[in-house]
């Protein structure tokens, strides 16, 4: 309504059944301005459905002038009330303690007072020290020393003794430990759970037996400098080489690592963080012998009464979280160029070739199906059930897997569930997301909360989608992001002293939901795809449960020089996959140039997922080149650790290579300087086992390249790449 005064009008609501009778008593409500000065007015009504009968109903809304009785605005809305609770509510789909491949059951050992729990590629050691003594990933020690709890109580620095360590094996999928720590003034109880993918959750509480003043409390993770050379945190990500000490306000996700391994700490809330300087709640301090992740839990004096507790819940996850059994080059997932027209793909042609035949010939193994629904990101082909069934059958006839866009992080206003469950599923405050999608009327969707019944809805929906339509996996858009939420209905948020409600970040629930979806897919389709677009949130406990991730949409658009937007140290931090676990694809449309993006990604052996037909020509050629060369049987020697066998000039030009035991090498050479350059590459032939006489050729075009004494020079435009195949005598 508009052009009315709040005191001069009221909203009247009537709910009627299919026969026109009142289903609930009429209601009269106040109108409130949507925002001061907007001259737009809104009224909201809440009605109990306890006594509402199953069937079709119509809600009538009228805005009426109180003085004249004139109707200022009116509308009606029809809906079908289902009566009984939906089948998905309380669903157990995806809830399982089965250890799914490629993970392995947990193993526990006790040796000389050290209790070690091991999973694939990693080991966590517990002893007489507080919390964790050592974490090992891929045979590398991540910690420079045991995790430390520093506390000053009543002016005295506390020294902790571990009184008791009790370990139990709940199942091959989960082990638990209980620790009791004591000092002169305080006690700490720590409850630790370790799951089969290596995720640790520690819930702990500190008490001061006789009460007292806590002047300081810090939780410190001392990391090996060799395995903590890069840092990442979220939200407002900081990602790249750790070249200086850092400090930040509370962040729920922090990772420190290298090109191969890392450790992520997560926490849902800054509740009971009493910071004198909130901008330094978390510090990363570089030292010669350690890189210290310091969590300043208490940095201003506080009184803690006898029996009162400080409680915290942290997660720790050593990366990589899983073995990379297949890389993104092998999955060959592509988005086709006819955005929003998947149902018409069987009619499309590339030249005279049917599009599906073209994709098959190029080596595509799976296509993202961007639209199967009339409600954005719905869990079923709403409005297109038979059409979608035929689509799956047709794509399968060409040997192409169907990976539908579904779940996302949104609840569509057009989803049937939104009418009755929007408040229960969405984050608070309500966050709207306008959707403009080809073939769909404009709609408003809403950010969902992982810590809600939305988890039952999506797990049950995906199970039905696979069972009924035989899809080959799912594409998840930003689904792992733990958006902040303060909804008491979900158990999110906490009250601040000033009466407002602070948000929490549901990182544990996000992990649980991805685990459920992984279980749903893999229990039905052992080779099924869970392809996650992470946007900018690298949540390791959720990445355990995807098969591939797609990263790059967060990059700014419109920059001509791509390495400025995506520096190499940032790429090594979050875009490679190897140091996280699942394989990565680069999303390039924000970078804006496919081949310039390839020049960056190829140095890291990461494919750039094609979106247009010319992109696919390049990507297909690279697939075939890798197959011909036999990269699976070759040693990968990337630019950041091959300087003993490769030299490249001029500055900002790089080469990464595969070295094959059969006496050949495949080099990816990139000119990432701002200028065109004559790029010279020198190879240590003896070290690489390359025996003369040698031949060198462009791996994609077959053009012969001159090489003498292991040296070749090629003219390369700025931001370009070449593939160089060097063949030695066998």
H-helix or E-strand containing 727?
strand 720-727
Question: What are 469's two structure tokens?
Answer: 């339509």
Above 50 in pLDDT, residue 1? no
Tell which residue, 40, 316, 57, has the closest CA to residue 201.
Answer: 316
Widest distance between CA atoms in the chain: 100
CA dist 521 and 516 (Å) reads 9
Which pLDDT score, from 0 to 100, does residue 5 have? Answer: 52
Residue 672 DSSP SS3: coil
Q: Which of 9-13, 251-255, 512-516 has the lowest mean pLDDT?
A: 9-13
pLDDT exceeds cutoff 80 at 153: yes
Which residues are within 8 A (CB) of 543 and not within 5 positions of it... i.e. 6 or more apart?
Answer: 321, 480, 532, 534, 549, 580, 581, 582
Residue 87 has pLDDT above 50, yes or no: yes
Structural contact between residues 515 and 443, judged by C-beta atoms closer than 8 angstroms:
no
Contacts of 600 (CB under 8 A, 6+ apart): 562, 563, 566, 568, 571, 586, 670, 672
Q: What was the pLDDT predicted at 11?
A: 84
- Who contacts 136 (Cβ-Cβ below 8 Å, separation ≥6)? 122, 123, 124, 125, 142, 318
Q: Left, alpha or beta for 315 (phi > 0: left; psi -120 to 50: alpha)?
A: beta
Q: Spell 351-379 as b/e; 16+ CB within 10 A means b.
A: eeeebbebbbebbbbbbbbbbbbbbbbbb
Residue 229: pLDDT band with limits 50, 70, 90: very high
* Contact (Cβ atoms closer than 8 angstroms) between residue 252 and residue 267: yes
Architecture of the domain spanning 633-727: Sandwich (2.60)
**CB-side neighbour CA atoms (13 Å) of 147:** 23
Residues of the chain with CATH 3.20.20.80: 340-551
Fold of 340-551: TIM Barrel (3.20.20)
Query: Taking 80 as the threshold, does the pLDDT of residue 8 lie above it?
Result: no
Which pTM was predicted?
0.93
Q: Are strands 366-369 and 333-335 parallel, antiparallel or unpaired?
A: parallel
Residue whose C-alpha is closest to residue 170's, from 117, 91, 240, 239: 117
pLDDT of residue 445: 95
How far separated are the first and last CA of the chain, in Å rounded? 83
Which is nearest to 154 in space by CA: 206, 217, 213, 207? 213
Is residue 655 over pLDDT 50? yes
How many CB atoms sit inside 10 A of residue 34's CB? 12
Mean pLDDT of the region 278-294: 97
Contact 241, 232 (CB under 8 A): no
How many whole angstroms separate alpha carbon 301 and alpha carbon 36?
Answer: 41
Of 205-209, 228-232, 348-352, 434-438, the least confident: 434-438
In the block, residue with structure tokens 């709940």: 170
Q: Is the dihedral of CA 203, 460, 327, 101 positive or negative?
A: positive
Residue ranges matching CATH 2.60.40.1180 in the chain: 633-727
CB 153 within 8 A of CB 142: no
CA 290-244-560 angle, to 5 degrees, is 135
pLDDT beyond 80 at 266: yes
Beta-strand (E) ranges in 497-633?
501-502, 529-535, 548-551, 584-586
* Mean pLDDT across 123-145: 95
**3-class DSSP state of 540:** helix
Pairing of strands 443-447, 646-649: unpaired
- Cα separation, 439 vs 441, whole angstroms: 7
Quick count: other Cβ atoms within 10 Å of Cβ 640? 15
Q: Decide if 619 contacts 608 (C-beta within 8 A).
A: yes
What pLDDT score does 112 carry? 84
To 10 degrees, the CA torsion angle through 298, 301, 305, 307?
Answer: 20
Give the tens place of pLDDT for each residue, 63-75.
888 888 888 888 8
Closest residue by Cα to residue 493 from 248, 478, 483, 278: 483
Q: What average pLDDT score do residues 177-183 get?
A: 94
Q: Are 534 and 551 in contact (CB under 8 A)?
A: yes
Q: What is the pLDDT of residues 316-354, one digit of tens each?
A: 999 999 999 999 999 999 999 998 899 999 999 999 999
Does the pLDDT of residue 523 top 60, yes or no? yes
d(CA 380, CA 464): 8
What is the phi-psi region of residue 572: left when phi exceeds 0, alpha when psi lies from -120 to 50, beta otherwise?
Answer: alpha
Read off the pLDDT of residues 542-573 as tens digits, 9 standing for 90 and up: 999 999 999 999 999 989 999 999 999 999 99
Average pLDDT over residues 669-678: 98
Q: Compute the residue count for the chain.
A: 730
- Closest by CA to 668, choosing from 641, 711, 637, is 637
Q: Is the dihedral of CA 453, 455, 459, 462 positive or negative?
A: positive
Pick the closest to residue 346 from 390, 401, 406 (CA basis).
390
- pLDDT of 381 above 50: yes
Q: What is the mean pLDDT of the chain?
A: 94
Picking from 550, 541, 548, the residue whose alpha carbon sits closest to that of residue 527 is 548
> Which residues of the chain does CATH 2.70.98.10 include?
107-319
The answer to whether residue 57 scores a pLDDT higher than 80 is yes
The pair of three-digit structure tokens given for residue 526, joined into one six-digit string: 């052992």
Beta bridge partners of 485: 504
Identify the pLDDT of residue 7: 63
Ranking 35-44, 82-91, 646-655, 713-722 by mean pLDDT, the lowest is: 35-44
- In this prediction, what percent of the chain has a pLDDT beyond 70? 99
Report the CATH fold assignment for 107-319: Beta-galactosidase; Chain A, domain 5 (2.70.98)
Separation of alpha carbons 75 and 91, rounded Å:
36
With beta carbons less than 8 A apart as the criterion, state whether 120 and 198 touch. yes
Would you say residue 437 has pLDDT above 90?
A: no
Residue 2, pLDDT above cutoff 60:
no
């Amino acid at each position: 309504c508009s052009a009315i005064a709040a005191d001069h009008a009221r909203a009247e609501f009537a709910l009627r059944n299919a026969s026109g009778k009142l289903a609930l008593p009429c209601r009269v409500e106040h109108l409130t301005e949507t925002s001061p000065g907007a001259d737009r007015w809104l009224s909201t009504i809440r009605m109990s459905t306890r006594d509402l009968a199953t069937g079709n109903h119509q809600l009538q809304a009228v805005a009426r002038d109180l003085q004249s009785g004139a109707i200022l605005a009116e509308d009606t809305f029809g809906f079908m009330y289902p009566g009984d609770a939906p089948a998905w509510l309380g669903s157990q789909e995806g809830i399982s303690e089965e250890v799914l491949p490629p993970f392995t059951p947990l193993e526990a050992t006790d040796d000389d007072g050290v209790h070690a729990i091991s999973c694939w590629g990693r080991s966590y050691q517990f002893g007489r020290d507080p919390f964790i003594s050592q974490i090992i990933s891929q045979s590398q020690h991540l910690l420079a020393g045991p995790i430390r709890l520093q506390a000053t109580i009543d002016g005295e620095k506390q020294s902790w003794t571990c009184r008791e360590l009790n370990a139990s094996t709940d199942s091959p999928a989960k082990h638990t430990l209980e620790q009791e720590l004591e000092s002169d003034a305080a006690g700490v109880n720590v409850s630790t759970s370790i799951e089969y993918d290596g995720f640790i959750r520690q819930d702990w509480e500190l008490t001061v037996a006789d009460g007292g003043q806590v002047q300081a409390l810090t939780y410190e993770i001392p990391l090996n400098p060799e395995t903590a050379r890069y840092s990442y945190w979220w939200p407002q990500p900081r990602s790249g080489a750790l070249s200086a000490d850092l400090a930040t306000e509370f962040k729920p996700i922090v990772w420190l690592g290298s090109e191969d391994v890392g450790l992520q700490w997560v926490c849902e809330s800054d509740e009971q963080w009493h910071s004198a300087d909130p901008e330094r709640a978390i510090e990363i301090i570089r030292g010669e012998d350690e890189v210290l992740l310091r969590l300043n839990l208490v940095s201003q004096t506080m009184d803690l009464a006898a029996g009162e507790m400080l409680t915290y819940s942290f997660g720790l996850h050593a990366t990589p979280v899983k073995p990379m059994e297949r890389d993104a080059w092998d999955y060959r997932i592509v988005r086709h160029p006819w955005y929003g027209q998947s149902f018409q793909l069987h009619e499309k042609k590339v030249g005279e070739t049917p599009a599906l035949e073209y994709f098959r010939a190029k080596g595509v193994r799976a296509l993202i199906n961007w639209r199967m629904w009339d409600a954005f990101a719905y869990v079923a082909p709403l409005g297109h059930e038979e059409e979608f069934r035929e689509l799956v059958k047709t794509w399968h006839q060409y040997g192409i897997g169907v990976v539908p866009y579904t779940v996302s992080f949104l609840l569509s206003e057009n989803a049937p569930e939104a009418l009755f469950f929007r408040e229960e599923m969405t984050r608070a405050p309500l966050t709207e997301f306008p959707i403009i999608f080809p073939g769909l009327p404009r709609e408003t969707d809403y950010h969902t909360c992982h810590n809600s019944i939305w988890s039952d809805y999506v797990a049950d929906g995906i199970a039905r989608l696979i069972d009924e339509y035989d899809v080959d996996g799912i594409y998840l858009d930003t689904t792992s992001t733990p958006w902040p939420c303060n909804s008491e209905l979900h158990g999110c948020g906490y009250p601040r002293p000033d009466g407002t409600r602070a948000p929490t970040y549901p990182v544990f629930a996000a992990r649980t939901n991805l685990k459920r979806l992984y279980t749903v897919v893999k229990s039905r389709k052992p080779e099924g795809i869970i392809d996650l677009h992470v946007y900018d949130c690298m949540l390791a406990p959720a990445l355990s449960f995807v098969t591939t991730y797609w990263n790059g949409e967060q990059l700014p658009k419109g920059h001509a020089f791509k390495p400025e937007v995506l520096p190499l140290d940032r790429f090594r931090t979050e875009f490679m996959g190897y140091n996280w676990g699942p394989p990565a694809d680069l999303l390039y449309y924000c970078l804006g140039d496919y081949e310039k993006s390839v020049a960056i990604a190829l140095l890291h052996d990461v494919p750039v997922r094609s979106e247009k037909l010319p992109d696919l020509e390049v990507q297909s050629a690279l697939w075939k080149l890798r197959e011909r060369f036999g990269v699976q049987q070759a040693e990968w020697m990337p630019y950041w650790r091959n300087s003993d066998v490769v030299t490249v000039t001029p500055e900002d030009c790089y080469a990464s290579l595969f070295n094959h035991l059969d006496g050949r090498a495949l080099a990816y050479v990139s000119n990432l300087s701002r200028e065109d350059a004559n790029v010279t590459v020198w190879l240590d032939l003896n070290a690489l086992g390359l025996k003369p006489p040698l031949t060198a050729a462009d791996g994609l075009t077959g053009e012969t390249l001159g090489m003498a004494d292991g040296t070749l020079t090629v003219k390369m435009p700025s931001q370009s790449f070449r593939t160089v195949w060097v063949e030695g005598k066998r």
